[in-house]
Structure 1
Amino acid sequence: MGTDIGTDLRVLRADDWDQWYDNLIRAFGGVSEPSEERELWNALTETDRSIGAWDGDVVVGTAGAFSFRLTVPGGASVPAAGVTMVSVAATHRRRGVLTSMMRRQLDDVRSWGEPLAVLTASEPAIYGRFGYGAATFQIQSEIDTNRVSLSVPDGTDDVRLRYAAPADVLDACEAVYARLVPLRPGMLARMPGWERLGLLDPEKERDGASPLQCVVAERGGETVGYARFRVKPEWELAGAKGAVILQDLTALDPVARAALWRFLFGIDLTSTLVTGGRPVDDDWQYLVSDVRRCLPRVRDSLYVRLVDVGAALEARTYQAPVDVVFEVEDDFCPWNTGRWRLTGDAKGASCARTTDAADLALSVRELGAAYLGGVSLASLGAAGRVREMRQGTLAEAAVGFESVVSPWLPHGF
């Protein structure tokens, strides 16, 4: 399959990876990565699921798709193509290269039998036209720990904390993470090799902060949580004003999480705790004395694309009964266009084509945004993105699609 300008698309070969990846790096500014990071992405790249656009013997476009399993509402782990490493050389922009790669990739995902494609967007404006909708969000904060205090639940003092080298406790930390994956939509089951992502610690990317540190939380001899972080020392005439930069905090229960948060708030010689990429319903927000001095900011995270509308809607459950006919528009993947009847509840769902009259009309992009339960169909309706054809069905469907906990992507890819 070729692009509109005569370049060729072909599956990536292992011995072409360096040139392929160099094109990606150049497209993102040309700053070389530390060797340990480049080596990890080389090991994680699935060449048989990656494509390159070639102009003669030069790579001018890249796109890959990781084999992921994504938690959806109800706890099922659903196959999803993790779209990644997308780039087009600046010399070949606006010439159909990206569209051609997206066309080939979604055709491939469909042939693999994967109902979902997901990605994180460097430029959100790009992917809406290919049917991706922003489905999860994350909160970032800069907490003034000199002025903000925590009110922790009973039992917090029973949690034992200890420092450990991150690599030494990796297996225990991964076991904690794995237990939480089915409990929150948007989380990824980490396949072998992906655990190394959390240990990346190149010196040139620390920006003056310490090497990666880790504290594990234990109770009754069991690891019940962990935090990975760096400390960035800083001083002024009045004294120390260092920052704790949180990379990851994961725990099995509220008490263990509170113990870890309290530890991070109290590290000597620091006055700021910087968090990034946390769930929008993260519990620290309800423990702090003054959320305004935490400077919370919300931004988009995971974008979802339904490759097979019927299979995707059947794969999740619905917190309230739904019986609704969607009129779906999908210009880029026309096999999804048409009417679909979704019937489901907390126990399961079915979704099949129908000739019945439509209750709601929307594009596949809106279905992707609402799919994990973090974006309300009612909100999309208020924005004019979902049209109600039968009165009352929008509110009913919106309640059914919601998730009890906010969907969250724990790390990028």
Structure 2
Amino acid sequence: MQQFDIVIVGNSAAGLQAVRTIRRHSSRVSVALVDREACPAYSRVLTPYFIGGKTARQNLFIADDAFYRDMGVTTLFGQAALSVDPDRRELRLADGSSLGFNALLLALGSEARPFKPGSERVSTLRHLADADRLAALLQPARCVTALGAGLVSVPVLSHLSPEVERHLVVGSDRIFSRLLDAESAAVLEEHFQASGVTLHKREEISEVLEGERLRLSLASGKNLDTDALLVGKGVLPNTLLAREAGLAVSDGILVDDCCRTSCPAIFAAGDAAQGRDYVTGETTVQGNWITAVEQGEVAARNMLGLNQLYEGSMKNNITEVFGLDVAAIGCCSDAVGRTVVHGSLASRRYRKIFLDEKERVVGAVLIGETNDSGVYYQMVRARLPFPGRRLMQGDAGYAAFTRRIA
């Protein structure tokens, strides 16, 4: 059995940041990185561009073999982690081998929710193999339907050729229901429909029938014929490994403010970790790239004994859909009592700011232009009071304010 100071399971945002942080502070610590995909790290955010033919496959990769070699990391790619023994500090792999560790980081990510019945023309999008399959499946398609209006389905539809007929089946009353309030979602829905997308809200797919085309039977009784179906209806944090090891698990793997699990030698970060939300104080699985990077950094520092506390994660999602940049930062809930709106879809500069009872910024939705999203992120992090509409207008007040918080 090989023995390492630190073993990392997961080769995306949290795992990569942990590697960088470890090497920034120590060149001596031995590190192994395990991942079931047999390739270097890649960006899932870019896969819709690849599927839509807007970027080459090689542009998806954010690390190469030289990165791991230069970092002095032993890589075990194409290897699934089967079980963890917290008492013996052992990680067992699918090939029957085991790794010993002093500290273990579970950066396991999440999976697409399963969908049945299956079909060769039905696919999820979570891994590189899914992207390869979808790129081939959608290339000849004249009509594509997506189930679920989240950060998987919508970007894929938006990067398809405008000549493709596009349908979006949404179980809730709006798109991006986990990201946006109803008003902001309505602004985007208007743009989607203007871009040629047919929305089917408060609908579910009850049956998929095979034929020359796929026939989708909807809960309302309507039928929809399509060439391909992309299922993007939610994700599930990968918690099985932790659960079977006896770690505390709820929606995700429960972690404290050090990103430590219920076992002192085991840490978790990224889409599988459930920690404190900075704004609400409640535990949540945030599921965004920046949170994964932040948690990977904190976990790595604590595995090295450098003792760092994490103030909590924040929603911070930025995407491009149908030619519009969209950012959702902090708490963007219908339940927030006071909001300030400026701009419109027509001006391609829409701002909605969410304020608490002390007039502090707790969230922001930006549609059209999102270059100043970092300013709003810092306002939420610093619990700053709303400085007034001049900031939203992007005039001299914006420049003055950015100098003040820099």
What is the TM-score of this pair, normalised by structure 2?
0.23
Higher helix fraction (1 or 2): 1
What is the TM-score of this pair, normalised by structure 1?
0.22
